[in-house]
């Protein structure tokens, strides 16, 4: 059984998330998804959707076999428990692949790190969806409602 781990915030689900999870699942037999804790999302505005609800929605997606909330303090704790063969990074995840491999090695983990390509077919970004909601519903110019 080849175990794959995918990670992310998954604030407002869109086809890019689905693509990332489908491509991750294809690399193995079982896909685990680690959903970022609200408190750990510091590199962008806080998620709109609370962590339990983000987890609930990710867990329901077809390619996902197991979804868990991440650890609050140590991002390697779930990895040590799952012991994946592969960890996938999304196209815009800010982790340095070499550094991540090094950190895993220091903890005795030999998971392969694979970068998944981006999907740009449609409105495939949580922040762009939020921007569109704001622009179309709340920032109408002259003549707008
Ligand atoms: C290998 C790995 C393990 C992670 N484990 C956790 C974790 O335990 N807890 C957590 O809150 N975030 C964890 N994260 C981080 C998030 O899931 C997410 O990738 C990060 O916040 C960047 O979010 P974004 O790409 O969705 O914007 C982990 C990320 C990686 C790459
Ligand atoms: N369009 C996309 N194509 C492929 N992968 C994507 C796409 N959008 C997000 N992902 C991946 O899905 C995971 C979760 O992404 P995240 O929750 O940060 O969504 P996002 O739409 O990139 O958010 P934001 O717009 O706020 O940056 C990450 O691994 C990310 O790289």
Buried b (16+ CB within 10 A) or exposed e, 4-33: bbbbbbbbbbbebbebbbbbbbebbebbbb
pTM for the full predicted model = 0.95
* Nearest CA-CA partner of 24 in 1, 5, 2: 5
* Pocket probe mutation, ligand 2, options 10, 14, 15, 20, max atoms within 8 Å of Cβ: 20
Q: What is the residue whose two structure tokens read 């590199």? A: 43
Residue nearest to atom 2 of ligand 2 (CA): 16
Ligand-binding annotation for 15, yes or no, is yes
Judge whether 10 and 58 are in contact, CB under 8 Å: yes
Residue 140: per-residue pLDDT? 60
What fold, for 3-138? Rossmann fold (3.40.50)
Structural tokens at position 62? 């077809």
Low-confidence ranges of the chain (pLDDT < 70): 139-145
Residue 121: per-residue pLDDT? 81
Per residue in 48-81, pLDDT tens? 999 999 999 999 999 999 999 999 999 999 999 9
Residue 142: per-residue pLDDT? 54
Ligand-binding annotation for 119, yes or no, is yes
Whether the predicted interface score ipTM is above 0.95: yes
């Amino acid at each position: 059984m080849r175990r794959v781990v995918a990670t992310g915030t998954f604030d407002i689900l869109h086809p890019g998330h689905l693509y990332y999870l489908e491509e991750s699942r294809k690399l193995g037999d079982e896909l685990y998804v680690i959903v970022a804790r609200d408190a750990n999302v510091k590199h962008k505005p806080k998620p709109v959707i609370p962590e339990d609800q983000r987890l609930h929605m990710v867990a329901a997606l077809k390619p996902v076999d197991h979804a868990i909330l991440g650890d609050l303090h140590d991002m390697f704790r779930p990895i040590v428990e799952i012991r994946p063969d592969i960890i996938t990074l999304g196209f815009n995840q800010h982790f340095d692949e070499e550094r991540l491999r090094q950190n895993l090695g220091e903890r005795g983990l030999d998971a392969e790190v694979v970068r998944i390509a981006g999907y740009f077919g449609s409105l495939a970004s949580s922040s762009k969806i939020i921007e569109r909601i704001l622009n179309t519903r709340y920032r109408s110019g002259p003549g707008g409602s």
